[in-house]
Structure 1
């Protein structure tokens, strides 16, 4: 099932009209109508609102568990490729934080074994020692915290950046994977200046 079908099914299961859903979620009735007929795709913020309201994750809302591609089933020596669509939300800075519109830009096909919520395009060279280069697609699992030393997508002053996160008793360090970039240190009373959007799970790169 596609997003448009899933949204309509979830709405009707709750006995809601499009107008009812619009009032509850703050979306417009016309937008919901266009979503349900496939004339418009939701942005990330809308997906969050709907996922929270229906108490489902984004994978369920986007129908990511469905198989979208198979190669020659039942033919000896060939294997099926199971993929799902991951929403692409723009660019993420590998270096200084850059402005990024949290808007839906399309979908990227990825294997069903990758449990993620969205992906972003890497920009810059600060994560090259983690083998993440400019133009690579980084897949993010949405979560408010990561473990010590893990790579996260982080919102800082309206920009999104990719860094390793290190926790200390009185501070948090956001560290690049390129020694030419200085770490970003935040003391406890400065934690409000950034927000962890999610954990970097995988990346996709072109072979050159």
Structure 2
């Protein structure tokens, strides 16, 4: 059976992993605390293995550190009397709002998590957005559909991407014309958005990989 000391070791190892990735991201205790919505003292207690946490909190920490839950629990599960196995599915966040401060993307509002087959994932970081409006109806993307996005800053001409305009994430076909970025809807009722990349408040944040239809 798993003893009390083994459980303490589990939380201690996870805490060491949290600190490792926080240091790699160059985040202070305060920055990580604000991303997760907890106090700096709580983060510190997690890192020292002094404070227990549930799976929702672990997911929130992983998301804030831009890592997977498996990375945070690496080397820890053997102390719980079990081996960590890779499941066929993973849980990805449904992001309601995205901000960009100092060039770093932050997910400010998580609506929930969507169980996703690993076969859909091929390296990199993924998240979901929910389609809003009818500007992409011509691409068979409708209000309420879940959009699986691979986080990346470059896409090929004509590919559909998630684009951050101020703090609003929208879905558009992307074209480049020299230093000009053209964002095209898939609905003729919407004119293209044309902007220069230099000093622009528009930024590509990811490529559309799959649409989960909302019935």
TM-score range, shorter chain: 0.5 to 0.7
Deviation string, structure 1 residues 5-59 (Cα, Å, up to 9, x no partner): x99645425887x9xx863854323156579511753787x646523xxxxx447
Q: Which runs of 5+ in 2 are unaligned?
A: 1-9, 34-39, 74-84, 99-106
- 1:110 equivalenced with 2:145 (yes/no): no
Length-normalised TM-score, structure 2? 0.64
Residue among 151, 156, 170 paired with 1:142: 151
Match of 2:86 in 1: 66
Residue among 16, 26, 29 paired with 1:12: 16
Q: Which runs of 5+ in 1 are unaligned?
A: 1-5, 52-56, 68-81, 93-100
Q: Does structure 2 conserve the Cα–Cα contact (< 8 Å) formed by 1:43 and 1:104?
A: no
Helix, strand or coil: the match of 1:124?
A: coil
Match of 1:153 in 2: 162
- 1:50 equivalenced with 2:65 (yes/no): yes
Helix, strand or coil: the match of 2:42?
A: helix
CA distance in 2, matches of 1:43, 1:205: 25
CA distance in 2, matches of 1:58, 1:90: 20
Length-normalised TM-score, structure 1? 0.66
Measured after TM superposition, the shift of residue 129 of structure 1 is 1.2
Calculate the aligned-residue CA RMSD, in Å: 3.7
Match of 1:23 in 2: 29
CA distance in 2, matches of 1:187, 1:196: 13
Measured after TM superposition, the shift of residue 189 of structure 1 is 3.4
Measured after TM superposition, the shift of residue 166 of structure 1 is 0.3
CA distance in 1, matches of 2:167, 2:18: 36
Q: Does structure 2 conserve the Cα–Cα contact (< 8 Å) formed by 1:7 and 1:61?
A: no
Q: Does structure 2 conserve the Cα–Cα contact (< 8 Å) formed by 1:42 and 1:104?
A: no
